[in-house]
Amino acid sequence: MSLRNAACIAGAFEHPTRLAPDMTTPQLHAECAAGALADAGLSLRDVDGYFCATDAPGFGPISMIDYLGLTVRHTDSTEMGGCTYIQHVAHAAQAIAAGKCSVALITLAGRPRSEAVQRFRPGAPEAAFEQWVGLTNHTSYGMCAARHMHEHGTTSEQLAWIKVAASHHAQHNPHAMLPKVVTVEDVVNSPMIADPLHRLDCCVTTDGGGALVVVSPEIAKTLNRPVISLLGAGEATKGPAGGLGLDLTVSAAAQSGPRAFEEAGVTPADIKYASIYDSFTITVLLQLEDLGFCAKGKGGKFVADGNLISGTGKLPFNTDGGGLCNNHPMFRGGITKVIEAVRQLRGEAAPAVQVSNCDLAVATGIGGSLGARHGAATIILERQS
Amino acid sequence: MSARKLPAPQPNPETQAFWDGLGEGVLRIKTCEACGKAHYYPRHICPHCGSAETRWLDTRGEGEIYSLSVMRRGDGAPFAVAYVTLDEGPALLTNLVADDLDALAIGQRVRLAPQARDAEAIGDGPSLPFFTPSGD
């Protein structure tokens, strides 16, 4: 079974809040659901499939389906960290192609700025060997950057260009948490957090969320919205593999990306816009190489000199400002990657960053810890003429 | 800035011998009789081939830095997080202890320095497998 043209994204909504002390997390899920369904021209009653991950409080889909007032015949609570919601689009397409549902709702929400959130379930087999190490995301991704610099000569200035490009886009987003344009000097002169990553190499932390509505092609044609079809999808996981498979310069996107491109029948050269998961600048660089936008080791040169800036560079990326400048709700940037890709394909991005004739886009992400064990999910989306 | 709180590892039937070894100053990993490959962290079933014929292997506790990142912010900073590739093959995640963290580099030779932090920081838990430059 191929997922090529198996389903369409009909609704997409990014919650405008970045700080929500007076809201609840279920409320944010509900507001995102309502927003995405309104965007699609559908209602809660139309939903027959529901997708959420561990950011959904309580008993996951069982709690949320009842809270939201849904009646569904298919649920999926696949969990793969921040890229989960990219993967959910593919899993929704699988369920739709198998006839298990026809209108799938995907929600993400959380309030990490307003409440203590539990990010990991206890009892992981690696916990006794890693918790005392102090492996935060900063040091995990920092080790990836350090190794990439060691093997390929990548520089902090090159990584900084990724943040610079994101900031150029964020200035046009009224909801962006960091709307100010920054320079390479600003990034490399910001405080060191975990070598070689500076504060401005890191994404924002935000309260908020988002939602997506994935429907069958038949339903998509009945809605008064541009038809955005899934062309291909790939997913993968990667870890230290008993300590013999450690390679911090290659992410699981080296597997998920080619799988998605093969299914879609397109190549990176065909892509007009790319949503690339940007928890840190190095996250973007590795994925660009692993998806084949440039050769392994050449990512630094590829991103330099504004090559990711819409209108001037060859590969416009994260035109909403991405996680680096706009939004990274609940420490998870997967859903916002899909949302901005949908905006670009519809021609609904901010006018200053809208890619002309944007008919083919990729959204790709990493979940978990890049420097330890992580997952990757990639989808290719096309606007039907 | 307050001292780092190091969570005490919880030994279990799969890993007790590892923690016992560290108490004797030995870094003990698992190797597999079926495929001949070593692994870390230790498991009952070999992650390389799926065999249950795993046995403990006392390493020499020496290796080289594969990558590192010095955490500059938060409790107990600065401290150096690193992967060390053991001479026996597997890489392991650890902390590097050195007078000058800025002098640490990828490729540098390091050796096991169990419980290199003071006992107060470690608390009542087992010794931890820190590493330190071999020349120190």
**Domains parsed from chain A with CATH numbers:** 8-115+207-229 (3.40.47.10), 135-205+231-383 (3.40.47.10)
Q: Provide the pLDDT for residue B116.
A: 47
- A363 by DSSP, 3-state: which? strand
Strand partners, B30: B39, B56
DSSP state of A355: P
d(CA A133, CA A139): 10
Cβ distance A147 to B66 less than 8 Å, yes or no, reads yes
pTM confidence score: 0.97
- B27 by DSSP, 3-state: which? coil
What are the residue ranges in chain A where pLDDT is below 50? none
d(CA A213, CA A70): 14
Confidence of residue B1 (pLDDT cuts 50, 70, 90): very low
List residues in chain A touching B: CB distance below 8 A: 125-136, 138-140, 142-147, 150, 191-197, 240-244, 246, 248, 371-372
| Distance of residue B106 Cα from the nearest chain A Cα, in angstroms | 8
Q: Contact, A237 vs A345, CB < 8 A? A: no
Amino acid at B129: P
* Encoded tokens for A214: 């994935």
Q: Contact, A251 vs A286, CB < 8 A? A: yes
d(CA A384, CA B108): 55
Q: Contact, A129 vs A102, CB < 8 A? A: no
- The sign one gets for the Cα dihedral A283, A286, A292, A295 is positive
Q: Which residue has the higher pLDDT, B9 or B134?
A: B134
Confidence of residue B2 (pLDDT cuts 50, 70, 90): low
Q: Provide the pLDDT for residue A67.
A: 98
Q: Provide the pLDDT for residue A53.
A: 97
Q: Provide the pLDDT for residue B4.
A: 77
Residue window 78-107, chain B: list those with CB within 8 Å of chain A: 79, 81-83, 85-86, 89-95, 106-107
Cα–Cα distance list, B15 to A67, A125, A126, A134, B49 (Å): 42, 10, 11, 20, 19
Q: What is the CATH number assigned to the segment(s) B16-133?
A: 2.40.50.840
Cα–Cα distance list, B50 to A32, A270, B32, B35, B115 (Å): 44, 42, 9, 9, 33
ipTM above 0.85, yes or no: yes
Q: Contact, A18 vs A208, CB < 8 A? A: yes
Going by C-alpha positions, the residue among A363, A376, A361, A373 that lies closest to residue A253 is A376
Q: Provide the pLDDT for residue B117.
A: 47
Interface test with B, best of A120, A133, A370 (most B CBs within 10 A): A133
Domain range list for chain B: 16-133
| Distance of residue A135 Cα from the nearest chain B Cα, in angstroms | 7
